[in-house]
């Protein structure tokens, strides 16, 4: 019959419990047969796994090392650049803020577009504009409105 403390036994073995919990588990293992069996099995499995499998032969290890160290160094343009995530985020944020704020600041401080595009030109001596005197066409008469009715002609040459 499995005991509900068995998971804690596993945590106890891995030293992942607080000191109070570890003491409680130690006391429990002393009195509970399934937990004591589980603890002994876990310890045995650990010992077996630590000794398994055998390490590689030294020749294999040295051959691998020489193969790696004999590798020519990659050119600088093939090296990858790594930036920590917070630095990358900050850079992107600064770029965005810079792209949004800078044009506004520039617009506020610089003169308006029309002023910049039309620099003040020296005033050339202006010619006198020709003056038309309309009074000579005014003989005191009044305008008469004539209403002309538009006659609608019947459609000729209608399509059959």
Q: Which residues does 12 contact at the CB level (< 8 Å), separation at least 6?
A: 21, 22, 25, 26, 29, 39
Structure tokens at 21: 């919990």
- Cβ atoms 10, 42 nearer than 8 A: yes
Q: Tell me how many residues contact other proteins (CB under 8 A).
A: 31
Instruction: Indicate whether 104 belongs to the interface with other proteins (CB under 8 A).
Output: no
Give the C-alpha separation, 147 to 124, whole Å: 51
Least separation in angstroms between residue 89's CB and other proteins is 19
Least separation in angstroms between residue 69's CB and other proteins is 6
Instruction: Return the C-alpha torsion angle 21, 22, 27, 29, nearest 10.
Output: 110
Instruction: Indicate whether 56 belongs to the interface with other proteins (CB under 8 A).
Output: yes
Instruction: Indicate whether 61 belongs to the interface with other proteins (CB under 8 A).
Output: yes
Least separation in angstroms between residue 117's CB and other proteins is 51
Instruction: Indicate whether 19 belongs to the interface with other proteins (CB under 8 A).
Output: no
User: 79-88 burial, b if ≥16 CB within 10 A, otherwise e?
Assistant: eeeeeeeeee
Instruction: Indicate whether 1 belongs to the interface with other proteins (CB under 8 A).
Output: no
Least separation in angstroms between residue 42's CB and other proteins is 5
Instruction: Indicate whether 5 belongs to the interface with other proteins (CB under 8 A).
Output: no
Give the C-alpha separation, 146 to 109, whole Å: 62
Q: Which of residues 78-97 bind other proteins (CB under 8 A)?
A: 79-80, 82
Give the C-alpha separation, 136 to 131, whole Å: 13
Binding site for other proteins (CB under 8 A): 6-7, 10-11, 14, 16, 38, 41-42, 45-46, 48-53, 55-56, 60-61, 64-65, 67-69, 71, 74, 79-80, 82
């Amino acid at each position: 019959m499995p005991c509900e403390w068995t998971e804690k036994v596993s945590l106890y073995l891995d030293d992942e419990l607080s000191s109070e919990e570890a003491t409680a588990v130690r006391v429990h293992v002393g009195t509970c047969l399934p937990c004591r069996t589980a603890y002994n099995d876990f310890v045995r499995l650990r010992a077996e796994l630590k000794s398994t499998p055998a390490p590689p032969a030294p020749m294999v290890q040295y051959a691998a090392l020489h193969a790696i160290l004999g590798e020519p160094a990659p050119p600088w343009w093939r090296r990858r650049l790594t930036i920590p995530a917070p630095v990358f985020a900050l850079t992107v944020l600064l770029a965005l803020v810079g792209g949004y704020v800078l044009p506004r600041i520039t617009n506020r401080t610089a003169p308006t577009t029309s002023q910049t595009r039309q620099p003040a030109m020296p005033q050339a001596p202006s010619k006198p504009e020709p003056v038309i005197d309309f009074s000579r066409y005014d003989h005191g008469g009044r305008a008469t409105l004539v209403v002309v009715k538009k006659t609608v002609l019947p459609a000729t040459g209608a399509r059959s």
